[in-house]
Amino acid sequence: MENDVELKTPKSLRLHIGVFGRTNVGKSTLVNYISDQDTSIVSSVAGTTTDSVYKSMELSPLGPITLIDTAGIDDISDLSKERIERTAKVFDSTDVAIIVLEQNIWTKYENEIVKQLNDKKTPFLFVINNYKKESLDEDFIKKLSSYKFIETELLQDKNYREQFLASLKQNLLSVIPEDSLNLQPLTQNIIKSFQTVVMVVPLDLGAPKGRLILPQVQMIRACLDINAVVIITKETELKQTLEKLKDKPDIVICDSQVVKKVLNIIPEDVAFTTFSIIFSSNKSDFKTMLEGIKAIKNLKPADKVLIAEACSHHASKDDIGRVKIPKLLSKYLGFELRFDVSSGIDYPKNLEDYSLIIHCGGCMINKKQMISRLNYAVNKNIPITNYGMVISFVNNTLDRVIQPFVKNI
Q: Note whether residue 309 is domain-resident.
A: yes
For residues 88 and 144, membership in a common domain is answered with: yes
Q: Note whether residue 188 is domain-resident.
A: no
Report the 3 state secondary structure along the chain.
CCCHHHHHCCHHHCEEEEEECCCCCCHHHHHHHHHCCCCCCCCCCCCCCCCCEEEEEEECCCEEEEEEECCCCCCCCCCHHHHHHHHHHHHHHCCEEEEEEECCCCCHHHHHHHHHHHHCCCCEEEEEECCCCCCCCHHHHHHHCCCCEEEECCCCCHHHHHHHHHHHHHHHHHHCCHHHHCCCCCCCCCCCCCCEEEEECCCCCCCCCCCCCHHHHHHHHHHHHCCCEEEEECHHHHHHHHHHCCCCCCEEEECHHHHHHHHCCCCCCCEEEEHHHHHHHHHCCHHHHHHHHHHHHHCCCCCEEEEEECCCCCCCCCCHHHHHHHHHHHHHHCCCCEEEEEECCCCCCCHHHCCEEEECCCCCCCHHHHHHHHHHHHHCCCCEEEHHHHHHHHCCCHHHHHHHHHCCC
For residues 138 and 171, membership in a common domain is answered with: yes
For residues 269 and 288, membership in a common domain is answered with: no
For residues 301 and 230, membership in a common domain is answered with: no
For residues 22 and 111, membership in a common domain is answered with: yes
Query: Along the 409 residues of the chain, how does pLDDT read in single tens digits?
Result: 344 444 456 777 788 999 999 988 989 888 988 887 765 544 444 444 456 888 888 888 888 889 999 988 886 665 556 767 778 889 999 999 999 999 999 999 999 999 999 999 999 999 998 888 888 999 999 999 889 999 887 665 667 778 888 889 999 999 987 766 666 889 998 999 999 999 999 986 566 677 888 889 999 999 999 999 999 999 999 999 999 999 999 999 999 989 999 999 999 999 999 999 999 898 889 999 999 999 999 999 999 999 999 876 666 777 889 999 999 999 999 999 999 999 887 899 899 999 999 999 888 888 888 998 999 999 999 999 999 999 999 999 999 999 999 865 5
Q: Note whether residue 349 is domain-resident.
A: yes
For residues 174 and 202, membership in a common domain is answered with: no
Domain termination residue (choose one: 236, 256, 278): 278
For residues 241 and 365, membership in a common domain is answered with: no
For residues 159 and 222, membership in a common domain is answered with: no
For residues 43 and 115, membership in a common domain is answered with: yes
Task: Supply the range of the domain harboring residue 228.
Answer: 196-278
For residues 371 and 258, membership in a common domain is answered with: no
Q: Note whether residue 409 is domain-resident.
A: no
Q: Note whether residue 256 is domain-resident.
A: yes
CATH number, domain of 325, equals: 3.40.50.11410
For residues 342 and 356, membership in a common domain is answered with: yes
Q: Note whether residue 310 is domain-resident.
A: yes
How many domains, in total, are found in the chain? 3
